[in-house]
Amino acid sequence: MHNAITIDALKVLDAIDRKGSFAGAANALFRVPSAISYTVQKLEDDLKVEIFDRSGHRAVLTPAGRYLLDQGRNLLDATDALAHATRQVAQGWETRLKIALNTLLPAESLFPAIRQFQSLNIPVEIQLVEEVFAGAWDALQSRRVDLVFGADNISRPAGPFTTTSIGEVPFIYAVAPDHPLAQIEGTVDEDVIARYPAVVAADSSRTLQPWSAGIFSRQRTLTVSNIDQKISAQVAGLGVGWLPEARVREHIETGRLVEIEINSSRQPVILNLARHQDDQGKALMWFWDTLSQPGQFGRWVNPLNSPA
């Protein structure tokens, strides 16, 4: 079916409205006035509505004409954006980049890089996906994401991946200040800790072997979806467990959590950037190069081989 509303017709209406006259639109579009008049007349005939009220000294948009132009400008903006995005794709830019974020790191750790990328005005949609434990590698292996920020060294599957280290995350064992374990002086034994529920963030892996850490034998668990929920649950006194030191530093300083000494330790987790070796999209590589720069995540991770 013939569609009376064309991009060209919308451009003509837009030019008439901006320039205030048919003649002004003709000059702006490098056309003769008769061509402008013909386009408008044909549009009115095809739609069977009056777009301009010509009863006065100058043509004025009717309510129907104003509605058509207002909605049409959205289409003009969309076509401009589509044309720009198409040119970007032709130059090697992806239309979308999905980044998996290890829940051990807060989303805000990526915000400076995202802000810097947005300033380039490249129409690439950025999507952040939070993953827990092996879920980050699982998302990359299955290509649900293009880049992992915080891939660990423990659950890495076989495959042609490229990685670069961003540092390591140390842990502390913490409880709410009114929790019974907080009242014990000195080192707390495993048998005592096992009497209380441990708060556990569930592994988000779909196909890789899920894993967990820091749970003592015979210990009940309260399972949550991510580290933010785990921290909140421990602040509320609902359970105990290891927490990434940087994520709870403020809670410790303000007394909402208390660090306790226990008779076991947990090694820091080394975190990396990870991608498929053959993936070379421009947006992907921009983030890879930007996030690989040393020292920018010192608030959240320690340099390798540094004291916890």
CATH 3.40.190.290 fits 171-259, yes or no: yes
Is 0.85 topped by the overall pTM?
A: no
Cα–Cα distance measured from residue 85 to residue 72, given in angstroms and rounded to the nearest whole number? 20
The arrangement of secondary structure in 7-90, i.e. its CATH architecture, is Orthogonal Bundle (1.10)
Model confidence at 217, pLDDT cuts 50, 70, 90, reads low
Task: Give the neighbor-by-neighbor strand order of the sheet with 161-169.
Answer: 125-131, 96-102, 147-152, 269-276, 161-169
Cα–Cα distance measured from residue 36 to residue 43, given in angstroms and rounded to the nearest whole number? 11
Domain boundaries, the chain: 7-90, 96-168+269-291, 171-259
pLDDT digits (tens, 9 = 90+) for 285-302: 999 999 999 888 999 999
The answer to whether residue 306 scores a pLDDT higher than 70 is no
Contact 60, 53 (CB under 8 A): yes
- At 305 the pLDDT is 66
> What are the angstrom distances between the C-alpha of 193 and each of 25, 238, 272?
79, 13, 32
* Mean of pLDDT values over 1-15: 83
Q: For 257, how many CA atoms within 13 A lie in the half-sphere containing its CB?
A: 27
Cα–Cα distance measured from residue 40 to residue 59, given in angstroms and rounded to the nearest whole number? 11
The arrangement of secondary structure in 96-168+269-291, i.e. its CATH architecture, is 3-Layer(aba) Sandwich (3.40)
pLDDT digits (tens, 9 = 90+) for 252-266: 999 999 999 998 889
The radius of gyration of the chain from alpha carbons, rounded to an integer in Å, stands at 30
CA 40 to chain centre: 44
* Mean of pLDDT values over 235-248: 96
Cα–Cα distance measured from residue 74 to residue 97, given in angstroms and rounded to the nearest whole number? 25
Lowest-confidence pick of 23-37, 70-84, 118-132, 164-178? 70-84
- At 214 the pLDDT is 63
Interior CA angle at 190 toward 189 and 192, to 5°? 70
pLDDT digits (tens, 9 = 90+) for 162-215: 999 999 999 999 999 999 999 999 999 988 999 999 999 999 988 888 776 667
- At 307 the pLDDT is 42
Question: Is 171-259 in the same CATH topology as 96-168+269-291?
Answer: yes
- At 90 the pLDDT is 73
Cα–Cα distance measured from residue 227 to residue 208, given in angstroms and rounded to the nearest whole number? 20
Q: For 176, how many CA atoms within 13 A lie in the half-sphere containing its CB?
A: 17
- At 93 the pLDDT is 84
Cα–Cα distance measured from residue 212 to residue 224, given in angstroms and rounded to the nearest whole number? 12
Give the other-Cβ count within 10 Å of 283's Cβ.
22
The residue with greater pLDDT, 201 or 78, is 201
**Which residues are CB-neighbours of 178 under 8 A, at least 6 positions away?**
237
Mean pLDDT across the chain: 90
The answer to whether residue 1 scores a pLDDT higher than 90 is no
Cα–Cα distance measured from residue 263 to residue 243, given in angstroms and rounded to the nearest whole number? 16
The residue with greater pLDDT, 20 or 169, is 169
- At 86 the pLDDT is 74
| DSSP symbols for 108-129 | GGGHHHHHHHHTTT---EEEEE
Q: Which of 133, 297, 186 is nearest to 306 (CA)?
A: 297
